[in-house]
Amino acid sequence: MKVFSKFKKIKNSIFNGKKVRHIGIDLGTANTIIYIKEEGIKIDEPSYISRNNKTERVDKIGELAKKIAGKEPKYIDIIRPLKNGVISNYEATLNMLEGFFEEIRDDAITNDSVLVCIPSGVTQVERRSVFNVVLDAGAKEVNLVEEPIAAAIGSGIDIFEPKAHLVVNVGAGTTEISFISSGGDSNSKSIRIAGDHFDQDIVEYVKDEYGIIIGKKTAETLKIKSNLSETDDEKFEIRGIDTITYLPKSVEIKVDVVNKAIIYKINLIIDSIKQALEEIAPEISADIYETGIYLSGGGARIKLLKKRIEEAFNLNVTVVEEPRHAVIKGLSIILDDFNKYTNLIISDHTEY
């Protein structure tokens, strides 16, 4: 209660007489998405930055930095500022956000109130780091909300309904397995297995099976293309280095190769969902029997994941609409009706 009243006071003083812009940020391991209230999504770019290591200057951010990743000149460092859903390089995250803020700068507005999501189960230091980096990047006020809550809201779930829902959000660095009911998160598990780990396994699998070394970006493209493919027979060309001759090489592989490469990690996700289901109260379990499992995040597009979950639990699995945008959609819904969700907000002044 003490925390809440403090939070209200701070909000009022900031809002006092000044025009405020309300912004939502999904600061992800793979992508950073920025939404401005009443305007829509303004930034949707890879969380990448390139920096000149001679001058220490930022070279490129977002899509442009990702494009040169793996083929950058020696004087350029490519940095992915977030790892496993949390900030792993503060300065690079700050530079990236400053760059994105510059792109959405509006000289008529001096106050940006920002709502950012964080994975559940992060440490206080990791959480504090998100507050600080957004403030340092220029925001006047920062609030946080846990990613599973935002994903659930953005998936179209009425989180205030006294009925439990199970949301599995598969991002690039983390998979969040969360039971949402009666206005909040009743149980959450965050595991560090997601899209990036699938890419790594694809790299290793094609190296072992086809004698070709490919980059992680090629592996990611292969994963995405194969999951967009309509048939299991479609073939994809991949290019890289021959493991014996070290010369450029190209091979054609089928969709099922990707599935074989990622099945081990898919099964680890299934094990974690199983464990989570075993740990919850019977009433929640009874609801899940009816509501099924919602899949969100970019990794929700992996067809094998949906299939394996259906097989393992015999539950209805819903891949939500535009799964990669579920979190930012949730943030936009919260920003539209902030008072309704205040109990779920972690404010800048929450005591640590």
Using the minimum distance from each CB to ligand ATP, give the nearer residue, 26 or 112. 26
| Residue of 81, 99, 299, 330 that binds ligand ATP (CB under 6 A) | 299
* Three-class SS state of 216: helix
Instruction: Decide: is 99 part of the binding site for ligand ATP (CB under 6 A).
Output: no
Amino acid at 336: D
Q: Work out whether 85 is an interface residue with ligand ATP (CB under 6 A).
A: yes
End-to-end CA, the chain? 15
Cβ distance to ligand ATP smaller for residue 99 or 173: 173
Here's the x/- map for ligand ATP, 169-188, by CB under 6 A: it reads as --xxxx--------------
Answer yes or no whether residue 265 interacts with ligand ATP by CB under 6 A.
Answer: no
Q: Is 320 exposed, middle or buried (0-12, 13-18, 19+ CB in 10 A)?
A: buried
Using CB under 6 A, which of the segments 10-18, 218-226, 242-250, 307-315 binds ligand ATP? 218-226
Burial of residue 41 (CB within 10 Å: 0-12, 13-18, 19+) is middle
Of 23, 30, 193, 251, the residue at the interface with ligand ATP (CB under 6 A) is 30
Tell me how far apart the alpha carbons of residues 234 and 316 are, in angstroms, rounded to a whole number.
28
Nearest alpha carbon to residue 177 among 314, 322, 278: 278
Cα 266 to the center of its chain, rounded Å: 17
Q: Which of 185, 220, 287, 348 binds ligand ATP (CB under 6 A)?
A: 220
Q: Which is nearer to ligand ATP, 111 or 272 (by Cβ)? A: 272
Whose structure tokens read 């067809």?
A: 303
Q: Find the part of the chain contacting ligand ATP (CB under 6 A) among 91-99, 251-259, 282-290, 291-299.
A: 291-299
- Which stretch in 238-246, 253-261, 292-300, 307-315 sits in contact with ligand ATP by CB under 6 A? 292-300
Binding residues for ligand ATP, total number by CB under 6 A = 24
- Element spanning 5, H or E: helix 2-15
Q: How many helices (H) and strands (E) does the chain have?
A: 11, 19
Q: Does 154 help bind ligand ATP (rule: CB under 6 A)?
A: no
269 binds ligand ATP (CB under 6 A): no
**Ramachandran angles phi, psi of 320, nearest 5°:** -70, 160
Whether the Cβ atoms of residue 227 and residue 198 lie closer than 8 Å to each other: no
Q: Which of 297, 317, 328, 348 binds ligand ATP (CB under 6 A)?
A: 297
Among 24, 62, 154, 298, which residue interacts with ligand ATP (rule: CB under 6 A)?
Answer: 298
Choices 26-34, 68-76, 108-116, 314-322; region in contact with ligand ATP by CB under 6 A: 26-34
The answer to whether 350 is annotated as binding is no
Tokens encoding 296: 């969100």
The dihedral through the CA atoms of 210, 235, 219, 150 has a sign that is: negative
Token pair for 57: 């200057």
Contact between 81 and ligand ATP by CB under 6 A: the answer reads no
CB of 227 to ligand ATP, least distance (A): 4
Q: Which is nearer to ligand ATP, 164 or 191 (CB)?
A: 191
Residue 24 binds to ligand ATP (criterion: CB under 6 A): no
Give the whole-angstrom CA distance, residue 169 versus residue 324: 9
Between CA 167 and CA 184 the distance in angstroms is 12
**Distance separating alpha carbons of residues 213 and 246, to the nearest angstrom:** 9
CB nearest ligand ATP: which residue? 195
CA distance 11 to 105: 22
Please identify, using beta-carbon distances, which residue of 92 and 284 lies nearer to ligand ATP. 92
Does 223 bind ligand ATP (CB under 6 A)? Our answer is yes
Residues annotated in a binding site? 29-31, 172-174, 220-223
Binding residues for ATP: 29-31, 172-174, 220-223
Q: Where along the sequence are the contacts to ligand ATP (CB under 6 A)? A: 26, 28-31, 85, 171-174, 194-196, 220, 223-224, 227-228, 297-299, 301-302, 324
